[in-house]
Amino acid sequence: MMTEELVIMHDRQAVTTSLQVAQNFEKKHQHVLRDIDALKQDVSNFGQMFIESNQPDSYGRDRRIYYMNRDGFSLLAMGFTGKKALQFKLKYIDAFNQMEKQLQQQKPLSLPEQISLIAKGYENLSADVKDIKDRMGLPGNMAHSFSKKRNAKIINVLGGKKSNAYCDKNVRAKTYRALFSSYRETFDQDRYNDLPMKDFDKAVDFVNNWYPPFELQQEIQQTNAQLAIV
C-alpha cells in the first residue's frame, strides 16, 4: 500500500482513520473502535487527538469511525505488537511526515490558530479572516463538543442509556440516521465536522430541539414498552 493512502488531510490536519488502521493492522474495526473508546476514559486531551465521525459503508449505511492525528495514532498503536505491526508503524510515521511536510508548504491554519480565531471574536475579525472562519470546518475541540451534545440528545430521545430502545442497536442506529438526515437537510452538509464554525451555535440549537419523526417515536415507545414487559 502506498504511504499516501495511510494518511490523508482532514480539516487541515494530517490524519488517518480507524478504518485504515483496522485494515492495515488486520484487526476488526469494532475492536479498534473499542480500543479508542477505552482511551477516551483516561486521556484528558482525547478531543485534540481523536474526532468521532460517520462514514457510509459499501451499502450506504452510516458507520461510526474516528479520525486521529499523529499523536492519536501513536497512542493507539502502542498496544500493537509483532514484526508486521512494527513495519506498519514505521510506514505510518513516514506517511505522517510526508503529509505534514506538504501541509507546511501550504501553510494551513493549525488547530491552535483556528482556536485563536474563535477566541478573538467574530465581529472583530478582518473581512479576510471572517471569510476563512465562514468556510472553515469545525476544529477538534468543537467537533468533540458537538459529538457529545449529539450523543446526549440520542440518549435522551431513546429514554436513557439503560433503556431498551438504546440497547437495541437497530433502533439506536435508526435514530442516529434520522438525526443526521435532518441535519444534512438543514445545513446542507454531508458530514458533521464539515459544518462552518459560524454555524456551530445554530447546529447545537438544532440538536437540542430535534425530535424523531412520529413513526420512529412510536417505534421507540413500543420497543421500550414491549421489552420492559418481557
The residue written with cell numbers 495511510 in the block is 6
Mean pLDDT score of the chain, rounded to an integer?
77
β-strand partners of 52: 66
Is the pLDDT assigned to residue 90 strictly greater than 80? no
Q: Which among 80, 71, 90 has a CA at the least distance from the CA of 13?
A: 71
Q: What is the pLDDT of residues 17-68, one digit of tens each?
A: 898 888 888 889 999 999 999 888 888 889 888 989 888 777 777 889 999 8
**Angle ∠(112,189,120) on CA atoms, nearest 5:** 30
User: Above 50 in pLDDT, residue 188?
Assistant: yes
Mean pLDDT of 76-95: 75
Q: How far is CA 42 from the centre of its chain?
A: 18
- The yes-or-no verdict on residue 84 having pLDDT over 80 is no
pLDDT tens for 165-187 read 999 999 999 999 999 999 988 98
Range 96-109 average pLDDT: 63
**What's the mean pLDDT in 202-223?**
90
| Whether 91 contacts 85, CB under 8 Å | no
- Name the residue with higher pLDDT: 82 or 74: 74
8 A C-beta contact, residue 38 and residue 50 = no
DSSP for 132-199, please give it. HHHHPPPPHHHHHHHHHHHHHHHHHHHT-TTSHHHH-HHHHHHHHHHHHHHHHHHH--SSGGGS-GGG
> Higher pLDDT residue, 89 or 111?
89
